[in-house]
A and B are shown apart, each in its own frame.
Chain A
Amino acid sequence: MRAIFLIGVAAGIGLGLAYAWLIDPVEFTTADPYHVDARYREAWLVMAAEAYLVGDDWDRTKARLDGLGDPNLAHTAAALFERYSVNGPDPQSRALAHLVERLDASAVTAGMLVYLETPITPTPSVTPSPASIPPTRAPTRPAPTPTDTFPTLTPSATPRPEFAVVSSDSVCETSPPQIRVTVQDAEGRGLPGVDVWITWDGGADRFVTGLKPEFGAGFGDFDMQPDVSYRVGAGSQSTLALTGSLSAEPCATDAGARGQLSWDVVLQPLTP
């Protein structure tokens, strides 16, 4: 009789576990970054690295990274750096290089030195910490291992935007598509003489605001080509895009006519 009871219990446990683990498992609605898919974990890591260079708050960055639950985070970041840097210098590679150095200086590779020798001037600020993130102790920063094998590389300056995008709106029009940029100050007054850069894969163009005063002192425009994605930059940093990809996609106007998207972008200078 006892054996029958125990067999029943064992079979029941098996059935219960099968149901709870396989048929109707617990649904996570409050997951940590550790639980999400690998692609987003990488995005999280890059995002945290970039945010660290801006916010300069290591405790908060560490808490963000702890959410990934990666015991070899420095090596994960280093591997990610290698993937990003294969296409040449970019902001993500720079951020990852600095993160690797902060996590584990021994994981720094020769390819990272070009970024690490670049002076970084993060914005000093007190970053608020959400209650959900526990404080962590900042690790001791080990000194880089000296070596003679690293090549001498020329550092480049960290790009900082001189302008901010106030708005970026698409308009469906039947006329040839354009990117129309207005540069204005905080009071909305147009600013003439500002260099505006339009970049795309394999090319770039520049115009100066104010050459069409009938549209405003801070106005300038650019004729778009179909099937090309453009980005807008301004000021002396011609390669630093301020907007996302803008393209002249087909659309329908309010009247139902076939048209293409034009873009109205408003920029405003950032005061130091």
Chain B
Amino acid sequence: MIRRLLVAFIGLALGVGIGLFVGWFAWPASFTGAPPSVLAPGWKNEAIWMAAQAYAYDGDLEAASGRLAPVFGSVDLGPIVRERAEKAIDEGLPPDEIARLARLAAAYGARSPRADPFLNRAP
């Protein structure tokens, strides 16, 4: 009897291990409907670029906030965009792209001596 229980327990433990491996690693639960705040850093970065480009197109700051706030939460979005603009300057990215970021940051009231020279470029 004890031996049967031992065999059943070993089988159960082995099965749980297999189940956890499959459920966590091999075939994890996939879902949609996650909050945008869990986007991968690369996609969050891309959201900033897109929001700045879209703002250059529609000039709608409220829409830009509606696009960035779900990703970054209820924080001041200006410094986030300004930081990306300054990073773009460090990376030597095209001035037009930097200008769009700087312009969106400035619309939020987040300016910096490094980004300001890009403000008067055409959109």
- What is the interface of chain A, defined by CB distance below 8 A to chain B? 1, 4-22, 25-38, 40, 43-44, 46-48, 50-51, 53-55, 64, 67, 91-92, 95, 123, 125-128, 130-133, 160-161, 164-169, 186, 240-245, 268-272
> Does B28 contact A20, Cβ atoms closer than 8 Å?
yes
Closest residue on chain B to residue A5 by CB atoms? B11
Across-interface contacts of B11 in A (CB, < 8 A):
4-9, 11-12
Closest residue on chain B to residue A165 by CB atoms? B107
Starting from the known contacts A19-B16, A37-B33, A186-B119, 20 additional A-B residue pairs (CB-CB under 8 Å) come to A7-B8, A12-B18, A16-B22, A17-B22, A19-B20, A20-B23, A31-B38, A31-B43, A36-B38, A37-B35, A38-B33, A50-B54, A55-B97, A95-B57, A127-B94, A130-B42, A130-B45, A166-B119, A242-B59, A268-B119
Cα–Cα, bound, A91→B119 (Å): 22
> Does A169 contact B39, Cβ atoms closer than 8 Å?
no
Cα–Cα, bound, A271→B35 (Å): 39
* Known A47-B50, A125-B94; contact A36-B33, beta-carbon cutoff 8 A: yes
Cα–Cα, bound, A22→B60 (Å): 41
> Does A167 contact B94, Cβ atoms closer than 8 Å?
no
> Does A5 contact B10, Cβ atoms closer than 8 Å?
yes
In the complex, B82 has a CB within 8 A of chain A: no
> Does A20 contact B29, Cβ atoms closer than 8 Å?
yes
Cα–Cα, bound, A21→B7 (Å): 26
Q: Is the interface of B mostly helix, strand, loop or mixed?
A: helix
> Does A12 contact B39, Cβ atoms closer than 8 Å?
no
Cα–Cα, bound, A9→B123 (Å): 64
16 CB < 8 A contacts A-B:
A15-B12, A16-B20, A16-B23, A18-B19, A19-B16, A35-B30, A38-B32, A48-B50, A51-B57, A126-B94, A164-B123, A168-B61, A186-B119, A244-B62, A244-B64, A245-B62
> Does A35 contact B38, Cβ atoms closer than 8 Å?
yes
Cα–Cα, bound, A14→B15 (Å): 8
Across-interface contacts of B67 in A (CB, < 8 A):
43, 47
> Does A31 contact B39, Cβ atoms closer than 8 Å?
yes
Across-interface contacts of B28 in A (CB, < 8 A):
20-21, 25-26
* Known A91-B58, A165-B107; contact A125-B122, beta-carbon cutoff 8 A: no
> Does B7 contact A271, Cβ atoms closer than 8 Å?
no
Shortest A98–chain B CB gap in Å is 11
> Does A243 contact B15, Cβ atoms closer than 8 Å?
no
Cα–Cα, bound, A91→B103 (Å): 19
> Does A130 contact B46, Cβ atoms closer than 8 Å?
yes
Across-interface contacts of B65 in A (CB, < 8 A):
244
Across-interface contacts of B58 in A (CB, < 8 A):
50, 91-92
> Does B120 contact A164, Cβ atoms closer than 8 Å?
yes
